[in-house]
Amino acid sequence: MKLFAWCLLPVASASSPGLSVFGHKVPDTDTVTAALVYAWELNARNISATAYRLGELNPETDFVLKRLGVAVPPLLADVSAKDAVAVVDTNNPQELPEGILKASIHSIVDHHKLSGLTNAEPLEVDMRPLCSATSILYARAKLLGLAPPKDVAGLMLAGILSDSLEFRSPTTTELDKVHAGELGKLAGLDVHEFAEGMLEAKANVDHLSPSELIMMDTKIFTIGGKKLRVSVMETTKAAGPLAKKDELVAAMRKLTLDEKLDDVLFFVVDILKEAATFISSSATATRLVEKAWGVKVDAEGLVVLPGVLSRKKQIIPKLEAAAKQEL
């Protein structure tokens, strides 16, 4: 029996009965798989739930769902005061539908720092310093005595492998590695082979425009009183996007104006070399990155940052610390 038949719904607002489960806008693999897995958990607990996504799939997530034979969750337009929701992989209202503060939030499962999402009533919150939301959800399943079928185990594994960059990211814990090993067996997957397929799919971005590359994995932060969009592109083929530097810079500058931002910061993460290349589009972005890492951005507006792989654990804390020094 296929697990996700209840996901085959039209694009709509979250007006269906039960909980609407979703992660952040500009969805990545962990946020999509976590929504599907948490909906499975809730239904297994006799809590009616449907998984949704808040944007189009990236190439890696598309590969994962096709590889596992899982239906793509429907696109959610918005939520309202009459909707009951469950949130995964974020607790930042800026990353969620505009109506989120009006909705009734049942629960949050997340692995990020506290970011301001509130609710009128007490709610269930499960936040742990693991590498992915699906790693938390697997720990929950074990505690609840729920045995994930193969496709659910594969989704859990995919979230861990994606967010940890196959255990390369400093966000990876030993427990995440244990979870991945167990999930590989449950899903009937070779963990390394599955990860290699995901990394290959992640690098398949030649068809994307510079603007789409910037928006593929991006979040907005307020740092030092400034509104910054911090975008990351994780790839095993960094030469491709770096060859489009001039077009990327032009797209970043346009996005800054269009969204009334202070800056757009773009980091191309070379997964295999375990280093990020920062592409600057402004003098202020250059100064912030130079102060954050104690480096010098070259005349082309580039600088390589060895060992930098994680926006959450490395990039944002460095930028925040540098911004505080200027206050």
Which domains, ranges and CATH numbers included, belong to the chain? Answer: 5-201 (3.90.1640.10), 210-326 (3.10.310.20)
Model confidence pLDDT, tens digit, residues 280-322: 999 999 999 999 999 999 999 999 999 999 999 999 999 999 9
Number of other CB atoms surrounding residue 280 within 10 Å: 25
The answer to whether residue 3 scores a pLDDT higher than 50 is no
In this structure, the dihedral spanned by the alpha carbons of residues 201, 259, 32 and 135, taken in order and rounded to 10 degrees, is: 90
* Sign of the CA dihedral running 75, 77, 83, 89: positive
Average pLDDT rounded to a whole number, residues 104-115 = 96
Does the global pTM surpass 0.85?
yes
d(CA 87, CA 35): 8
Q: Please give the structure tokens belonging to residue 13.
A: 């607002």
Q: With H, G, I as helix, E, B as strand and everything else as coil, classify residue 320.
A: helix
pLDDT at 10: 33
Q: Please give the structure tokens belonging to residue 76.
A: 């959610």
Model confidence pLDDT, tens digit, residues 155-202: 999 999 999 999 999 999 999 999 999 999 999 999 999 999 999 999
d(CA 138, CA 51): 17
d(CA 33, CA 218): 18
**Secondary element (H or E) of residue 46:** none
d(CA 154, CA 68): 7
Average pLDDT rounded to a whole number, residues 83-88 = 97
d(CA 312, CA 199): 20
pLDDT at 325: 85
d(CA 93, CA 316): 18
Model confidence pLDDT, tens digit, residues 216-237: 999 999 999 999 999 999 999 9
d(CA 150, CA 326): 51
d(CA 279, CA 298): 10
With CA atoms as reference, report the closest residue to 150 among 185, 193, 190: 185
With CA atoms as reference, report the closest residue to 298 among 290, 309, 306, 308: 290
Lateral strand order in the sheet of 49-51? 49-51, 19-22, 84-88, 104-110, 124-127
pLDDT at 120: 86
Strand partners, 218: 231
Could you tell me what percent of the chain has a pLDDT over 90?
90
The answer to whether residue 239 scores a pLDDT higher than 80 is yes
Pairing of strands 104-110, 84-88: parallel
Model confidence pLDDT, tens digit, residues 7-52: 333 333 444 469 999 999 999 999 999 999 999 999 999 999 999 9
d(CA 163, CA 29): 8
Q: Please give the structure tokens belonging to residue 142.
A: 């074990």
For the chain, what is the mean pLDDT?
Answer: 94
Q: Please give the structure tokens belonging to residue 172.
A: 């990876």
Number of other CB atoms surrounding residue 224 within 10 Å: 16
With CA atoms as reference, report the closest residue to 249 among 291, 214, 219: 214
